[in-house]
Structures are given as structure tokens and as C-alpha cells.
Chains A and B, each alone.
Chain A
Amino acid sequence: MSHLTLEQFDRDGALREAGSRLPRKRFFALAAGGAAAVFGGLAAPARGATKGDVAILNYALVLEYLQAAFYTETERVAAVRGQAARAARVVGAVERAHVAAFSNLLGRKAVKRPAFDFKGTTEDQQAFLKTAVAFEDLAVAAYKGQAHLIESDAVLAAAVSIHSVEARHAAWMRHLFGIRPATSAFDEAKPKAEILRIVQSTGFVVAKRPRTRAQGGPRFTG
């Protein structure tokens, strides 16, 4: 099986949490700056966070990695035009800020960024919008499914302040795609297992980052 599952990443996170054998590593040079922008500074590693909250934060981090990578690649490929290109740029910057914030908050407990292959969805206007809608709706359902499980008030406050931004993104992308931004009076939550199954089914998460720069193909970036 060539595709790693997100569950595997999650287990990796749990292992790190328990053993912390791996050396601390910063994945983003601008992590501190981005975290400050989101959480207003002083985002110290989540030393005090419970095991449950760390797992939730890592789950959120994986979803933010996925989204950030998607928009970043879209921007680099530069095949998407007009309002959709502007949205990709704006939303991408926000998702990268979310990644930086969660990474910084988790410190050495943060899961590693997976490698992605978006299978051409970043290279076509309609495929981009369709995928963006799916990602954003998924993120809304994912955060919603975790809110009541979060133990720390600080983590909860951060999560809900991001949850509604994901919903804004979902509505925005839907509007650009030409479908109704709000289809129901109530947005339903989805449990973690279901979200991870859906993400896994996309095949976007891959075992290895495709070799790109040498081959010149626009692929995943930071």
C-alpha cells in the first residue's frame, strides 16, 4: 500500500507524545511569527495541555497542513485565475498561519507534516474550487466534532475562533464555485474517524513527497 493513512500520522503523534524520542524540529521558519499573528503572541508549547487536547490539536494540525499545502501549491502552479486565485492566496495565507500556530503551540509534540499529491486538482479552475469546497466543509465539520471534547478553555477558545473562519472559507469557495454557501440552518459535526476516512479516500496524502524540483513539476511546497 503506497498511501500512508492519517491514522498512521496520528499514531505517530501519540507515540511522540508518550516517548518524545524524536528531536525537536521546526518545520516552518516563520512559525513563531505566524503563531503570534493568530494567537496574539506567547504561544508557548502546550506543556500543560492534556493528552486528549494534544491529540485534538494534532488532528487539527494535520487538516491545516492539508489545506495549507493545497492552497500553496495552487498559488505556485498559477493555473487558477481571477477571484478564485485571489481566494487561494488569501485562504492559503490563513491556513499557513493556522499551521504555524498549532505547530508552535504543540512544540515537540507536533506531528510531522505529511507529503501530499493533489492529483492535478491545483491545476484546473473547476477542480480547484470543487476540492477547496470539500476541504473547507470538511474542516468545519471536523472542528465542530471536537469542540465539546476539548478540555482546556484556552485551546477551546482558539479552536472555535478558527472553526468559524473555516466556515467563512467554505461559504466563500462555494460562492465562487456557484453553489449555495449555506445549505442548511445547522451544520452537522463529523467524528474524527469519519473525517480521517474521507481524507484517506482522496489519496492526497502520500508516503513520499514527489520529487519535483529536479523534474520541474509543480508539487507540494511549504
Chain B
Amino acid sequence: MRELSVRLLDNEAALRAARAEPSLTRTRLLQRAVVGGGAVVTGGVLLAGLPHVALAGRSAEQDVRILNLVLLLEELEAAFYEAAETRGKLRGELAEFARVVGEHERAHVAFVRKALGARAEPRPRFDFGDTTSTADRFAGTAAMLEDTGIAAYNGQAVNLTKPVLKAAATIVSVEARHAAWIRDIVGQPAAPDATDKPATERQVRAAVARTGFVKAAG
């Protein structure tokens, strides 16, 4: 944890390098990934069908951006389970699930927030509407949020510096456990595929926007 913060916040060389290219927009980064870069080309040869988009290069600056993306997801999940507990409509194992998983998500928020330090984006305001009002709606929403979390972490694995990847790996499998757990509670396939498909940042942000849960930045 401490190590992670230091890497992110004190790696002056990496930060300077990132600042030296202020005109590098995301589009250009993507173009770069598509047209060049040995690792990306090799990837195409080895595993042509598996989608993974490597951004230009791993850097502390890029870690900050990615960690803020997963922070949004963790905040969203934590707030959702909190809302469900407050609403008090869940019984039995679903109530236990909301309580246990809520605790985990709050721990993830604290972890990512601490790693980001002053560079963490403020917590948005959320409104979960009627998704916590019945067991079915809760379970469906929980499964969707957990599946999205897995896809987001998996999609960013190749873009993270190694210390942050190592930390992220300890979180993503817990999200996967949550996803399988809630799916099995409601009789959905717990592990429907041989691989969990990754999602890009754009896909993740679009998925979050579609939920309508995020009302405003902090």
C-alpha cells in the first residue's frame, strides 16, 4: 500500500515524462497502439482474437488515470450496497451478500483513494432509484456492477505499471467472487464464459453512464 502510493506520487521522472507530452490525446494514444509498438504487434500474432488495447506506455500518470476509473466503479459499488442496506428490503442471503460485499467495496475505495492521495477525483453523487427496492432488481444490478468491475480491471491490466498491476490483481478476483456469488444466489450462471472479456475505459464509462446512477461530480 505504502509502496504503491510512493510509486504513484513520487515518481517524478515518470510524471515529468508524461507532462512532456501534453498534446498526447487519448485518440493519439490509441492510434499509436494500433499502428506501432512491438508488444502490441506481438500480441496480434499470438492471440489475434483477444481484445486488448495497450496504450502508449505504462507510466505513473497513466496509473493515476486508470485508478481514478476504478475508483469510480468502487465508489459506485460501495454506494449501491450502502443504499441497499439503508433501504432494508433484502432478506436472508441477499442481505448477507450486501453487507459482506459492501464492506469489501468500501475497503477497495479506501485502498484506491489512499493510493491516489491528492490525485483522487472527488466522490460523485449517486441515485440508485428503485434498484434497491426489490430482491430481483438488487441482484440484477449487483451482478451488472460486479461484471463491469471485472471487465474494467481486466481491460486495464496491460496498461498498468507492474506494482499497480500487482495491487489491482488482488482486487479483481474479489470482484469476480462477488459476481459469481450473486449470480449463483439468483440461479444465474456463475461463470458463463471460459474467459472474462476485457472492456476499454470508454466502454466502461459508457456502461456507467447508461446506468444513470451517477448524478453529479462530488
Contacts from A to B (Cβ < 8 Å): 36-44, 46, 48-49, 87, 90-91, 93-94, 97-98, 101, 105, 140, 144, 147-148, 152-158, 160-172, 174-176, 180-182, 184-189
Chain B 3-29 interface 0/1 with A at a Cβ cutoff of 8 Å (1 = within): 000000000000000000000000000
Whether A167 lies near B177 (C-beta < 8 A) is yes
Given contacts A49-B46, A152-B46, A153-B52, 7 further A-B contacts (CB under 8 A): A157-B158, A158-B47, A160-B157, A165-B195, A170-B180, A182-B101, A187-B177
Whether A165 lies near B194 (C-beta < 8 A) is yes
B174 at the interface (CB under 8 A from A): yes
Residue of A nearest to B107 (CB): A185
Chosen A-B contacts, 13 in total, with CB atoms closer than 8 Å, are A37-B194, A43-B48, A154-B45, A164-B176, A167-B180, A168-B191, A172-B184, A175-B180, A181-B178, A182-B100, A185-B171, A186-B107, A189-B166
Known A168-B180, A168-B190, A172-B180; judge A157-B47 contact (CB<8 A). yes
Whether B166 lies near A185 (C-beta < 8 A) is no
B196 at the interface (CB under 8 A from A): yes
Chain B residue numbers with a CB within 8 Å of A167 are: 172-174, 176-177, 180
Residue of B nearest to A157 (CB): B52
Give the distance to chain B from A34, nearest Cβ to Cβ, in Å: 8
B189 at the interface (CB under 8 A from A): yes
How far is B189's CA from A219's CA once the two chains are assembled, in angstroms? 28
Chain A residue numbers with a CB within 8 Å of B198 are: 157, 160-161
- Choose one: A91, A152, A169, A170; the contact of B39 (CB below 8 Å): A152
- Choose one: B46, B101, B111, B166; the contact of A44 (CB below 8 Å): B46
| Size band of the interface chain B makes with A | 35 or more
How far is B162's CA from A154's CA once the two chains are assembled, in angstroms? 15
B50 at the interface (CB under 8 A from A): yes
Chain A residue numbers with a CB within 8 Å of B44 are: 154
Whether A187 lies near B174 (C-beta < 8 A) is yes
| Dominant secondary structure of chain A at its interface with chain B | helix
Give the distance to chain B from A71, nearest Cβ to Cβ, in Å: 12
B179 at the interface (CB under 8 A from A): yes
Whether B195 lies near A158 (C-beta < 8 A) is yes
Most chain B CB inside 10 Å of its own CB: which residue of A98, A101, A153, A164: A164
